[in-house]
């Protein structure tokens, strides 16, 4: 499975400890398989760098002074932060050859946008832990747009990773279940007691084997 992977974190990763742990576990699993792993984050945080697996390269987006403490709900500031993240992501893929992109939460929207504007088609993994598609979770035109973009990112993803069946149910059958992998978080309180990091790493490997499998040419 050795390949070059670019992981794109969400716009709020620096204040989201569970996402940081999940990204670190994913990096470790991919490095173990022999992948070259780059990670793009809006900015660095002590928690992120403290346990970063050795071997991954980390890139940051340009700093936006008034976008440091972003709200959980969709907002113009989050949209701006995502756009700046997209520009940095575009710069990276223009200079480096990646086989797979992997977006976390609204980072999945960034890699979907990148896939639409670049000449090369990038297979990408969309991993959602805090969906914007929860019915009634957020309201208003900005939230409706965010949910539409999120569902679009999932529909076009080569593979989708969700943490549990409850998260899958929130999308109400509007995403391709055949490409969904349910991979619990070994650190979470709700994870099955028998689910270990080794099983997590194996599940991530299976997802990437699926994404990188040879595809039959279209007739």
pLDDT at site 150: 85
pLDDT at site 143: 66
CATH class of the 4-211 domain in this structure:
alpha beta
- What is the bridge-based pairing of β-strands 100-104 and 180-182? unpaired
Give the C-alpha separation, 78 to 15, whole Å. Answer: 14
Q: What is the CA radius of gyration of the chain?
A: 16
Length of the chain: 219
- Kind and range of the H or E run holding 153: helix 141-155
**Most confident segment among 10-19, 44-53, 72-81:** 44-53
Give the C-alpha separation, 84 to 79, whole Å. Answer: 9
Annotated domain spans of the chain: 4-211
pLDDT class of 88 with cuts at 50, 70, 90: very high
In terms of pLDDT, which residue wins out, 104 or 141? Answer: 104
Q: How far is CA 41 from the centre of its chain?
A: 11
Instruction: Give the range among 9-18, 30-39, 132-141, 155-164 with minimum mean pLDDT.
Output: 132-141
| Contact in structure between 67 and 81 (CB atoms under 8 Å) | yes
- What is the bridge-based pairing of β-strands 36-41 and 124-127? unpaired
- Kind and range of the H or E run holding 57: strand 57-60
pLDDT at site 159: 96
Please state the φ and ψ torsions of residue 160, each to the nearest 5 degrees.
-125, 135
pLDDT class of 43 with cuts at 50, 70, 90: confident
Give the C-alpha separation, 68 to 218, whole Å. Answer: 46
Residue 125 has pLDDT above 70, yes or no: yes
């Amino acid at each position: 499975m050795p390949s070059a992977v670019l992981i794109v974190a969400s716009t709020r990763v620096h204040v989201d400890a569970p996402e940081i742990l999940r990204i670190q576990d994913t990096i470790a699993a991919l490095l173990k398989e022999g992948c070259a792993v780059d990670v793009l984050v809006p900015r660095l945080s002590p928690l992120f760098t403290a346990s970063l697996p050795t071997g991954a390269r980390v890139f940051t987006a340009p700093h936006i002074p008034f976008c440091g403490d972003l709200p959980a709900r969709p907002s113009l500031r989050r949209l701006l932060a995502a756009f700046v993240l997209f520009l940095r992501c575009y710069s990276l893929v223009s200079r480096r050859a990646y086989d797979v992109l992997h977006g976390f939460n609204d980072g999945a929207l960034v890699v979907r946008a990148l896939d639409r504007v670049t000449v090369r088609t990038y297979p990408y993994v969309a991993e959602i832990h805090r969906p914007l598609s929860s019915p009634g979770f957020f309201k208003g035109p900005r939230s409706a747009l965010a949910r539409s973009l999120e569902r679009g990112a999932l529909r076009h993803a080569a593979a989708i990773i969700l943490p549990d069946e409850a998260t899958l149910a929130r999308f109400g059958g509007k995403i391709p279940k055949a490409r969904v992998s349910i991979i619990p978080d070994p650190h979470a309180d709700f994870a099955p007691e028998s689910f270990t990091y080794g099983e997590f790493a194996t599940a991530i490997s299976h997802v990437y084997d699926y994404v990188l499998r040879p595809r039959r040419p279209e007739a």
